[in-house]
Amino acid sequence: MAKPAPYLPVESPPRPSRAEAEEAVRTLIRWAGDNPDREGLLDTPKRVATAYEEWFSGYGVDPVDMLQRTFEETEGYDEIVLLRDIRFESFCEHHLAPIIGKAHVAYLPSTRVIGISKLARLIEIFAKRMQIQEKLTAQIANTLDEVLQPKGVAVVLEAQHQCMTTRGVHKTGVSMVTSRLLGAFRSNTDTRREFLSMISSTGQNAGSGV
């Protein structure tokens, strides 16, 4: 299997100061046609910078590090472990518009398992970055595969892209679905079928709930 791509931008220019970031927001406000000095907008650059810190908090967190603590006492459990319908919020790297959806993440343990909150955290670390859905899907699957070395990993993301609903083609109600299947989920038809039936028994789809 190919090594996963590096997760942090390799060559990032030096990070600007917070004052520079706020000034850039003022510029965008002026570009949009409003006056950043009117009362309602005075604190907006500050708020936007703070929001960016939260929306893009996935940079600077090492997902492999975060996953390091695994458990080996599994009593021989060797069936699929699935966390489904995990809501995630990300931003498309082309428009910085929200991508909101649900993730289903499964693995087939070999000798190690991890706490379920770590699975959710893994999704968040990659989601809170500038993304395309395909890359987000692959990063989650590859990292889980690399750290746990399970018999298989399956990741399915269903999401709505606000760059498509609020601009451009203005198509609402459209979900994009991406998947990455590794190991047994790719090679074994029964395992794949079991996974697909486990995630489809949710009785709802990601698009309607977001």
Residues in contact with Zn ion by CB under 5 A are: 92, 94-95, 163
Residues comprising the chain, all counted? 210
Q: How far is the CB of 74 from Zn ion (least distance, A)?
A: 41
Q: Which of 120, 114, 117 is nearest to 89 (CA)?
A: 120
- Please say which residue, 28 or 64, places its beta carbon nearer to Zn ion: 28
Nearer of residues 92 and 119 to Zn ion, judged by Cβ: 92
Closest distance of CB 123 from Zn ion, Å? 19
Query: Cβ-count burial of 131 within 10 angstroms (0-12 exposed, 13-18 middle, 19+ buried)?
Result: buried
Q: Which is nearer to Zn ion, 176 or 196 (CB)?
A: 176
**Which active-site residues does the annotation give?**
92-95, 133, 161, 163
210, 160 Cβ separation under 8 angstroms: yes
Instruction: Decide whether 89 or 194 has the Cβ nearer to Zn ion.
Output: 89
Residue 92: CB minimum distance to Zn ion, A: 3
Compute the least distance from the CB of residue 163 to Zn ion, in Å: 3
CB-based closest residue to Zn ion: 163
